[in-house]
Amino acid sequence: MTEARRGAAATSVRHGSFLPSAVDPQVFDEAFLRQLERLMLVSRTAVRGGMKGVRRSVKHGQSVEFTDYRDYALGDDLRSLDWNVYARLEKLFIKLFVEEEDVTVHVLLDASGSMAGGSPDKLVFAKRAAAALAYVGLASYDRVTLTILQGRVARRLPAVRGTGRIFSVLADLSAVQAAPGATDLAAACRHYAAQLRQRGPLMLISDLFDPNVERAIAELAATRCDVALLHTLSLDELDPPFEGDLRLVDRETSERVDVTADLATLDAYRSRLAAWQAHLEAISARRQVSYVSVPTSLPLADLVFAELRRRRVVA
């Protein structure tokens, strides 16, 4: 993308009133667009590195970046011979360059029933985070694939490339609704892994409220992509504002649990939550998966340029 094209994209984002009608203004409102605009301004230099692994293929190929030498073999392109070395050593060496690959950024969005609700709304936050990450990928000249995990399936949206497609990403995300009923995250991840053709950075945005979350992580880790889990929890899940005798109803399964929300119970809940997050982080680390706990109150800029960079999800 040229600077002129990037400027045009920034201009179109800045004027939210000219958004395509398919973009949900409730999700991608003025505040989000201002955040995205700020993301653009900041990322002009920062995202040049792109996602982790962009242009970092293990293969050697044609590019301008030198990596190594090897002995000349018959049939090699003579244009790759290093004549300077030959002049000094009188041996033929072929210059090797980094192979530039067409990298695909995989953004997986959990749209299960448990993602609906929360304060701030988890699904809205997840959509915005997905849009922000997709933009970063697009700005890095990468192909971005957006996938919605619902039920036991992974619904993959058409891949896009270039920042000019950001609005189609927003439109696609606007159409995402939380699915009623139970979700099998592991099955959905397995389903996605089966469809995967091109490796690249893979980011799962989910609350991970699934009994088989470990298998889901394992499925994603098995794709040999650079997997990052963006564990999204709302504030009332991190610190429930409950008091008294309550009957808690599971949004996905409609299962009912009676609790007395006294301070001891809430302390026990917080301890349980912390232990669960620590467990997830541990198994993620074991499978070389980056685990990032993301509260829904976190600003997008902080998410992209602080949290994800700190966890080396973004270069």
Spatial separation of the C-alpha atoms in residues 173 and 115, rounded to whole Å: 14
Give residues in contact with another protein (CB under 8 A).
Answer: 114-118, 122, 207, 209-211, 234, 237, 240, 242-253, 255-260, 262-265, 268-269, 272-273, 276
Closest distance between another protein and the C-beta of residue 263, in Å?
Answer: 4
Spatial separation of the C-alpha atoms in residues 276 and 66, rounded to whole Å: 45
With tokens 């995205």, the residue in question is 36
Closest distance between another protein and the C-beta of residue 207, in Å?
Answer: 6
Closest distance between another protein and the C-beta of residue 240, in Å?
Answer: 8
Spatial separation of the C-alpha atoms in residues 191 and 266, rounded to whole Å: 37
Closest distance between another protein and the C-beta of residue 250, in Å?
Answer: 4
Between 202 and 303, name the residue whose CB sits nearer to another protein. 303
Between 248 and 282, name the residue whose CB sits nearer to another protein. 248
Between 25 and 117, name the residue whose CB sits nearer to another protein. 117
Spatial separation of the C-alpha atoms in residues 39 and 205, rounded to whole Å: 19
Pairing of strands 143-150, 160-161: antiparallel
Closest distance between another protein and the C-beta of residue 285, in Å?
Answer: 21
Q: Cis omega (within 30 of 0) on the bond before 120?
A: yes
Closest distance between another protein and the C-beta of residue 163, in Å?
Answer: 29
Strand segments, DSSP code E, in 12-171 are 60-71, 93-98, 104-110, 143-150, 153-156, 160-161
Between 81 and 273, name the residue whose CB sits nearer to another protein. 273
Sign of the alpha-carbon torsion through 213, 214, 217, 219: negative
Q: Which two tokens stand for residue 77?
A: 């392109």
